[in-house]
Structure formats: structure tokens, C-alpha cells
Structure 1
Amino acid sequence: MSGPRVVVFPSVAELGSTLAQLVSSRAEKALSTGESFSLGLSGGSLVSILSKELPAVLSLDCSRWLIGFCDERLVPFSDPESTYGLYKNQLFEKINIPEDRILAIDPSLPVQECADDYAGKLSKAFNTEQIPVFDMLLLGMGPDGHTCSLFPDHPLLQESQRTVAPISDSPKPPPQRITMTLPTVNAARCVVFVSTGGSKAPVLKQVLEGGEGPALPAALVAPRQGELFWLVDEPAAASLTSQVERPGPGAKL
């Protein structure tokens, strides 16, 4: 891959509209050459952005989409912390994606078994014993530079064999989670980070422009043969000195 494309928007609304168009265009591209479009979702602000903007994309047919999750909290789907539960209530009911095309964890299992079970679901869905290759992953970043449930200085950053791993000591509650590993993230054809708000400015600068100490987890995301986008708003980009893109209204990526 070449370097990341850092695209700065005046508002979250304009960012969200462009994100929806980017997802739609990559879906059309994947479906024109294959049987499905595989999309990995993350929680946080992405839930509300996608729930508002994706249904508004005209002629969006999700019947051949395959939805997975980049990470998930080990809580019941009815729990407000459940990423699947949030998307089910806010997005999935608005778009025509078949329920069997949504890959969710089994929250009734212990964390290790849950990770193994989810890895098995990915293997079956992608028909491979190797690393599944998603068409697109949508990621967020915490103020500590974590992404998925991969946290700074955590041993999981060194994981090279598993596609999905359990974590029982998340520094951010809830402690038990399931997460894609870096090899899975970096196998994707397109990875899109969404980062908004002034609180993200210092860590965004460190991730994109470097700094002292070990690289933060978000800085380790570098798709081997794919695209990498950072879609950010002006407050998040306030500390950046490197070159960025500022597209005009209605521009497509």
C-alpha cells in the first residue's frame, strides 16, 4: 500500500455523508467482481454515523453484504455495551440485509470459547482456513490510540497466528472482549478510520506523524495490499502538520 489518505471535513455530517458514499462505492466494486461485499464494523460514534447516513444512500442493496465485527464486548445483546445490539436496533432494521449474513459472537460462551467460535464463523463464511480478507473494515480510535480491542503495550499487539483473539483484561470496561488481530485487520482490501473531536487531536498527530515511545495500536494498521483512509473532522485534525485532503462539498473518494 501507499501511505494513508487523510481527509479532513468541516463537520461530522459531511464526513458521514462521504463515508456512506465510500462504503457504497466499495460495495458496488466488490459485488461487480464477486458474490458478496464483506464489511467489518466497529462501535462508538460509527454506530450513529452509519445509522443516519447509510440508509440515505440511494439504491443501496445490502442483500449480498456480509457483516462482521472488528471487535465486540462480551455482554448480552440487550446490554447497551453490545455493539451488535446497537447496530441491530439502529441500522440493521433499516436496510435489507438478511439476518444470516450478519456474523455475531455467541455471548453465552466463555471468552476464549467465544473467540474460537467467532473465528470459526469467519472461516466458514469466507470458506478459508487462512486469514479472512474483508473488502472493508471501519475502525475507530480511542484517546489512548487503541483500535478494535487492541490496547497500547498489550501482548495481543504481538499476536501473529490467530485471526480473532480474546481479551480478559481490557483497560476500558467491560474487561472481556473479542477482537480481530492485526494480521486480520491488515489483510483487508480497504480500512477506514473515523476520528472526530478535539480530544483526538494529540493522539491523531502521534499516530500519523510519529512520536516518542512504541507505536500506538492505530499506527500499526497498515493494510498489506489495500487502501487506508483516515476520515477526520477539523477539531481532530487541528494539530496535524502533514499533508491532508480537504474535499469540496459532494466530493467522492
Structure 2
Amino acid sequence: MVDTAVDKRVVVRATPAEVAAAVAERFVARVAARTENPGKLAHISLTGGSMGPAVLAAAAQLPAAATVDWSRVHFWWSDERFVPAGDPERNDTPVYPVFFDALEIPRESIHAIAPSDSGLDLDEASRAYAAELARFADPGVGAWPSFDICFLGVGPDGHVASLFPDRPEILVTDAATLPVRDSPKPPPLRVTVTRPVINSSKRVWLVMTGSEKASALGLALAGASYASVPAAGAKGRKRTVFFVDEAAAAKVPAQLIDREY
């Protein structure tokens, strides 16, 4: 099975810092528009890596961020490393100082995946996260929220969340979350959401920088099998956008680059 690149946009900025700034502006504007509607909540799925925190740090510094009612925004993660709370390896650890604390996000709006020192084992942590997702389920999409934005990083191997190439997790469609053991990338134990959760998002924004990501980006846009290139199978219901720097875009055909978005 392959996905076509026809409805995927590629937005290019010169440097990683410029990519982070561009994504941050769109993120704050989208959340502001969503929360202007009375009674509406926004659900955002975050990602780790270097660019995830960089985008959020840039967002927190925008004057427009101070006008958003952040109490109506719920934050989730597409995956997490199963290590102790506060460990620098966790995806959520760097987000607290630069975003959650900076904007005084209510703690009840932050839905973290249980750490390894929570008293839960890996399987229990996965089930607990699935149950938490189900508390905010959108019946129109599944036993989880419909994310307004799902941020994803992309590895040089094309992995997204903790869905790695040619592993069974990428093929699972009957669960919201999965425990991951023997991850090809350390640390070895993780919890991830599944592809159906990602693809039920209204918007999937993939943020990737650096020349080592160029090959993965090219394969994802060329419609490679998502089993071998998971990033190729990440697709939002309304929009799918790759935000990349010039180094990552080195192999992208000019006709696929959206210069107006």
C-alpha cells in the first residue's frame, strides 16, 4: 500500500530556526482560531526530538500566545521514552520550561505518558495512556481525540512517533497505543500511538531539518510504502504539511514546494 504525495505540502525555510519560527506562528494562529469558538477545545499532539521543543519555545515568545485561552487546549504526545520522570531522554522534559511553565499551562491539560518510575510497567503505561485518550474520544474518529494538530518529527530512517520501519507496530490498526520493546533507536522501551490515531488528526505537521533527513523526505513524498517508510503513511484528514529547512529539501522537486502556504 502506498500513499500519494498529491495532497502533501512542503514548506521550506532557510534554517532550522526559521522553520521553528514559521511553524510556531501557524501553530499559535490555529489554536487561537479554534479556541475563539465558545465551548470548543483544541487537542494538540506533540513530538520530541530537537525541533518539537524549538517550535514550542518560539511559540511561547510570540505576543499572540499571550492572548490564547490555553486552559481550553489539551496537550498529548505521539510517543514517549519509558524512562524516569524528568529524565532528559523523555520527550516531555524539555517542553516544561520553554512552553508549559512559560505560558502557565494548567497541569490538568497536559496528558503525559507514565514514566518508568510511576509504578506502572511498560504494558500498563501503554494501557493507561489509551484509557486517558479514550476519556476525550471523538466518536467520529475512534477511541481517542481528533487532534487539531499532530506534530511529528521524522528520523533519518523515516520513522515517526515510535513507529519504526519494517516493524509490527506500524501495521497495527486495532489499538490506540502500543508498548515498544527493543527500539532500533535508544532508549529501547517506549510507548507510541498507532497510525490510525495519527491519521485521524485534522492536520499532520511533520517538522524535519538537516541533510540527513533529505532521503526520508524524498521517499515520503514519492509515495513509498508506509511499512518501510512510516513518514509516508502519516496523513491528516484536512492537511499534511512537511516543514523543512533547505538542507532537508535538497532532493524535493521544485513543483512539490508550496511557496505561498
Distance in 2 separating the partners of 1:184 and 1:16: 24
Q: CA deviation at 1:38?
A: 0.9
Which AA in structure 1 matches 2:151?
A: L
Check if 1:70 corresponds to 2:70: no
Selected match of 1:118 from 117, 129, 134: 129
Selected match of 1:196 from 209, 228, 233: 209
Which AA in structure 2 matches 1:152?
A: P
Kept after mapping to 1: 8 A contact 2:177/2:192? yes
Kept after mapping to 2: 8 A contact 1:74/1:178? yes
Kept after mapping to 1: 8 A contact 2:114/2:125? yes
Selected match of 1:3 from 4, 7, 15: 7
- Which residue in the other structure is 1:151 paired with? 164
Alignment root-mean-square deviation, CA: 2.1
Distance in 2 separating the partners of 1:59 and 1:201: 33
SS state at 1:49 partner: helix
Which has the higher mean CA deviation after the structures are superposed, 188-197 or 17-26?
A: 17-26
Q: Map 1:1-253 to 2 at 5 A.
A: 3-33=7-37, 34-60=39-65, 61=68, 62-107=70-115, 108=118, 109-126=120-137, 130-210=143-223, 215-223=228-236, 225-241=237-253, 243-245=255-257, 247=259, 253=261
Which has the higher mean CA deviation after the structures are superposed, 200-209 or 45-54?
A: 45-54
Which AA in structure 2 matches 1:78?
A: G
Kept after mapping to 2: 8 A contact 1:47/1:86? no
User: Per-residue CA shift, 1:72-102, capped at 9, x if unaligned?
Assistant: 0011122110111221233211112101100
User: Per-residue CA shift, 1:219-248, capped at 9, x if unaligned?
Assistant: 01122x22100000001001122523364x
Kept after mapping to 2: 8 A contact 1:207/1:215? no
Kept after mapping to 1: 8 A contact 2:137/2:144? no
Q: Percent identity?
A: 34
**Cα distance change on mapping 1:18 and 1:205 into 2, 3 Å:** same
Kept after mapping to 1: 8 A contact 2:52/2:153? no
Distance in 2 separating the partners of 1:24 and 1:5: 19
Kept after mapping to 1: 8 A contact 2:154/2:206? yes
Distance in 1 separating the partners of 2:47 and 2:155: 12
Q: Provide the aligned length of Structure 1 versus Structure 2.
A: 248
Gaps of 5+ in 1: none
Kept after mapping to 1: 8 A contact 2:180/2:188? yes
